[in-house]
Amino acid sequence: MTTTPRAVRRKARPAAPPDPARPLLPSSEQIRLLDPAGTPLPAHPDYPAPPVEVLVELYRRMVLGRRFDLQATALTKQGRLAVYPSARGQEACQVGAILALRDDDWVFPTYRESMALTARGIDPVEVLTLLRGDWHCGYDPAVRRTAPQCTPLATQCVHAAGLAYGEAYQGRDTVALAFLGDGATSEGDFHEGVNFAAVFKAPVVYFVQNNQYAISVPLSRQTAAPSLAYKGVGYGVRSEQVDGNDPVAVLAVLTRAVAHARAGHGPFLVEAHTYRMEPHTNADDAGRYRDADEVARWQDRDPVVRLETYLRDRGALDDTTVARVAAQAEEYAADLRERMHDKPNVDPLTLFDHVYAEPTPQLVEQRAQVRAELAADQEGAG
């Protein structure tokens, strides 16, 4: 055994300064305001529950969103859509994010956010244009303040930072919300985007829906971090994790995150723990990488049922309202079905319209060639 020299032993260790990372760190447990059965938990000091009328609207849009999602899957099976990546099970996240924003805020969705876009009030036919295949983006992103759905997974993280910075630079208090998935947090652009937003204090909310799988690859292969929300601290970004199937908590946390960004405190990163109930798309076979028991366990945490139970218990929802919302959802789906029935008109000559503001001489030549081919086809057919 060694003895410590007396002089060293006497010297008192100075008190550690406060840890500057601590205010950025997420809670060690997911924020939860309802238990899985829909029973309210004690109020959280940082995340007050949203007003009940907002929660009723959240419920309404979640029911519509789920019905839309089921309809889109059915349309795919009927061959109306090339492919559809379902968000069933993620309704609390998809709709909660939209309700946390103002209409003039910007949304940066990925391909899995079709439900979120319908919750934003975008015509579902325009939302499904990408997947039907008549153009890439069916809605007007400038009017809807919603970027085209992003398929490269994380590139939108940087766009959101730039847009938010540009809006602030021009004196507007716009917030940008970027959706991304668990797999996308492994992409470089996620890190560059969060870092740029932090350095330039851009008002961005990065909203990670951790639905446990990137197609087939489980979360354990994306990260060794205790939660994806910890990825914020390295960039100096305030972060939080939330039960993504607790609609009240999702909206409460995102409302706080949006307020943080709008107040000029810089970006905010939220990880929502949720689950993709369907395969990656209709073309995927989830049975190859996850078992039915796991899916069943998540079925028991259904966000729509959870919110409905809570609102009924509070007396904010009754059979009449539930039936009315269900009827609205059926009407919404029927209208979508009807309008998706017609094959869209596509004009090959529009291929040349949006490459440059003015087509290059080479494109003018190619357009003339295609026009001649079409005329010849028509003559042949006639």
Partner 1 sequence: MASMTMAKALNTALADAMLDDDRVVVFGEDVGQLGGVFRITDGLAARFGDKRCFDTPLAEAGIVGFAVGLAMSGLRPVVEMQFDAFGYPAFEQIASHVAKLRNRTRSALTAPIVIRIPYAGGIGGVEHHCDSSEAYYAHTPGLKVVTPATVADAYSLLRSAIDDPDPVIFLEPKKLYFASDETQLPARTEPFGRAVVRRPGTDATLVAYGPAVPVALAAAEAAQEEGWNVEVVDVRTIVPFDDGTIAASVRKTGRCVVVHEAQGFAGVGAEIAARVQERCFHSLHAPVLRVAGLDIPYPAPMLEHTHLPSVDRVLDTVARLQWDDQPDERWVTV
Residues that are catalytic: 276, 280, 289
Least distance (Å) between residue 121 CB and partner 1 = 17
Supply the minimum distance, in Å, between the C-beta of residue 107 and partner 1.
12
Numbers of helices and strands, H then E, in the chain: 14, 7
Burial class (CB in 10 A: 0-12, 13-18, 19+), 148: middle
Binding string, residues 208-237; x marks residues near partner 1 by CB under 8 A: ------------------------------
What type of residue is 31? I
Least distance in angstroms from the C-beta of 22 to partner 1: 24
Question: Which of 107, 163, 228, 270 forms a contact with partner 1 (CB under 8 A)?
Answer: 163
Environment class of residue 19 by beta-carbon count within 10 Å: exposed (0-12), middle (13-18) or buried (19+)? exposed
11: its two tokens: 């010297």
Residue 245 identity (one-letter amino acid): N
Output 164 or 249, the one with its CB closest to partner 1.
164
In the bound complex, what is the minimum distance in angstroms from residue 142's beta carbon to partner 1?
A: 5
Identity of the residue numbered 369:
Q
* Touching partner 1, residues 317-376 (CB under 8 A): 353-357, 360-362
SS3 236: coil
Among 68, 84, 179, 196, binds partner 1 (CB under 8 A): 196
The site for partner 1, by CB under 8 A, has a size of 41
In angstroms, what CA-CA distances link 363 with 137, 320, 358, 369?
A: 22, 59, 9, 10
Q: Report the residue from 40, 121, 188, 218 that binds partner 1 according to the rule CB under 8 A.
A: 188
Mode of pairing for the β-strands spanning 176-181 and 204-210 = parallel
| Residue pointed to by tokens 């809006």 | 167
From CA 55, how far away is CA 23, in angstroms rounded? 29
Q: 110: which strand partners?
A: 150
Residue 184 CB, nearest approach to partner 1 (Å): 13
User: CB of 234: closest distance to partner 1 in angstroms?
Assistant: 13
CB of 188 to partner 1, least distance (A): 6
Q: Is 162 in the site for partner 1 (CB under 8 A)?
A: yes
Q: Decide if 153 contacts 183 (C-beta within 8 A).
A: yes
**Beta pairing class for 217-218 and 213-214:** antiparallel
Interface pick for partner 1 out of 189, 243, 271, 308 (rule CB under 8 A): 189
Q: C-alpha angle 277/281/285, rounded to 5°?
A: 75
Q: Is 217 helix (H, G, I), strand (E, B) or coil?
A: strand
> Contact region for partner 1 (CB under 8 A) — 34-42, 80-88, 119-127, 162-170?
162-170
- Cα–Cα distances in angstroms (integers) from residue 312 to residues 66, 307, 309, 325, in the given order: 19, 8, 5, 14
Contact letters for partner 1, residues 165-184 (x by CB under 8 A) = xxx-xx-----x--------
Nearer to partner 1, 36 or 133 (CB): 133
Distances (CA, A) of 146 to 95, 101, 173, 232: 14, 12, 16, 24
Q: Which of residues 120-159 bind partner 1 (CB under 8 A)?
A: 135-137, 140-143, 147-148, 152, 155, 157-159
Between residues 356 and 381, which has the closer beta carbon with respect to partner 1? 356
For partner 1, which is the closer residue by CB, 104 or 338? Answer: 104
CB nearer partner 1, residue 21 or residue 364: 364
Residue 174's Cβ-side half-sphere holds a number of Cα atoms within 13 Å equal to: 22
CA 58 to mean position of chain CA atoms: 15
User: What is the number of alpha carbons within 13 Å of residue 22 lying toward its C-beta?
Assistant: 4
Q: Restricting to residues 67-126, which ones interact with partner 1 according to CB under 8 A?
A: 106
Nearer to partner 1, 320 or 362 (CB): 362
* Residues at the contact surface with partner 1, assessed by CB under 8 A: 106, 135-137, 140-143, 147-148, 152, 155, 157-167, 169-170, 176, 188-189, 192-193, 195-196, 199, 353-357, 360-362
